[in-house]
Amino acid sequence: MIEEKTVNALPDLPPMTKNQVMDLAMDMGKILLKSGAETSRVEDTMMRFCRSYGYYDLNVFCTPTVIILGDESPVGKSRVFRVRWRATDLGLIRDVNRLSYNFRNWQMDYAEAKHWLQDRLAKSHPYGNGVLCVAAGLGSACFAMLLGSASIYNFVAAFLTGFIAMTLLKMVNNFHPTPFWENFLAGIAIGIVAQICCYLSPFCTMENIIVGALMPFLPGLAFTNGVRDYMSGDLLSGNSRIAEAALFALSIAIGLVFALKAWTWGGLP
């Protein structure tokens, strides 16, 4: 059995073995990728942490759905983590970035750093579903007002449309559908609720309501991360994220068109 040696490139850091460094680096990558960070940031953070301990034979390969941390030494091992779901939590990305850039100031050993990372890995979203649904409704209403029609009817209708669509999305999350069907159902909900509001009140403008309610569901973060991955040279991740953003936008559009057509097929104005 080969005895694992401890390497410490920076004297201020508490000593750790290679397996311990790989373990902490993988936890950092999990948190970042699950929180919506771009793949270039995930790779840079993990590599910076490994190299701060003098392990230059560790390499990272990351895509939007998998992280591979490999040891290039003759007796090295590799670790793979499959990402099943991703969300957006900029607070967790900030925390891990601060840790990776200022690890010497934290002075945490392996057990303390492991506990700190596991606590954030298991951390739930800072806002509950109720707050997210209300925020989606307010965002939809504000976007509808920005489109040029400062009407209280459009504000209320857009709020109800965005709120109901997001509520439906959170309800179907318990059945673990694919993102395509989630956005498809959101598009259907937006189309149906917007048409009901315009049917009940002649003062509502359907275009403003629909466009305003669509805004909280558009995959702007995925597209932005794809462009940033392109700029950093990660062509595979850039293609994947931009294709993901296009697929999400297409699924919302298909659901919206289906709702509009179903309304007219029912003989309603």
d(Cα 181, Cα 185) in Å, to the nearest integer? 6
Rounded average pLDDT over 18-23 = 89
Amino acid letter, 188: I
With tokens 């590799």, the residue in question is 78
pLDDT at 179: 79
- Three-state DSSP class for residue 11: coil
Q: By C-alpha distance, which of 64, 28, 30 is closest to 47?
A: 28
CA 226 vs. chain centroid, Å, equals 12
Q: By C-alpha distance, which of 191, 195, 210, 161 is closest to 257?
A: 191
Look at strands 78-82 and 58-63 and give their pairing: unpaired
CB under 8 Å to 124, separation ≥6 — which residues? none
**Hey, what are 101's tokens?**
């850039």
User: What count of other Cβ atoms lies within 10 Å of the Cβ of residue 12?
Assistant: 10
pLDDT at 10: 57
Residue 213 has pLDDT above 70, yes or no: yes
pLDDT at 67: 92
Q: Using one digit for the tens of pLDDT, what is the confidence trace for 227-254? A: 888 887 778 888 888 888 888 889 999 9
Percent of the chain with pLDDT over 70: 91
Q: Using one digit for the tens of pLDDT, what is the confidence trace for 167-199? A: 988 888 777 777 788 889 989 999 999 988 888
d(Cα 52, Cα 141) in Å, to the nearest integer? 48
Residue count of the chain, please give it: 269
Burial of 3 from C-beta contacts in 10 A (0-12 / 13-18 / 19+): exposed
Residue 45 has pLDDT above 60, yes or no: yes
pLDDT at 16: 83
Largest CA distance in the chain: 79
CB under 8 Å to 2, separation ≥6 — which residues? 75
Between 1 and 245, whose confidence is greater? 245
pLDDT-derived band at 5 (thresholds 50, 70, 90) equals low
Q: Using one digit for the tens of pLDDT, what is the confidence trace for 62-71? A: 888 899 998 8
Residue 23 has pLDDT above 80, yes or no: yes
pLDDT at 2: 41
Residue 203 has pLDDT above 70, yes or no: yes
pLDDT at 110: 86
pLDDT-derived band at 78 (thresholds 50, 70, 90) equals confident
d(Cα 213, Cα 217) in Å, to the nearest integer? 8
Q: Using one digit for the tens of pLDDT, what is the confidence trace for 114-147? A: 888 888 877 656 677 788 889 889 999 888 888 8
Phi/psi of residue 85, nearest 5 degrees: -150, 155
Q: By C-alpha distance, which of 262, 147, 265 is closest to 205?
A: 147
Look at strands 58-63 and 66-71 and give their pairing: antiparallel
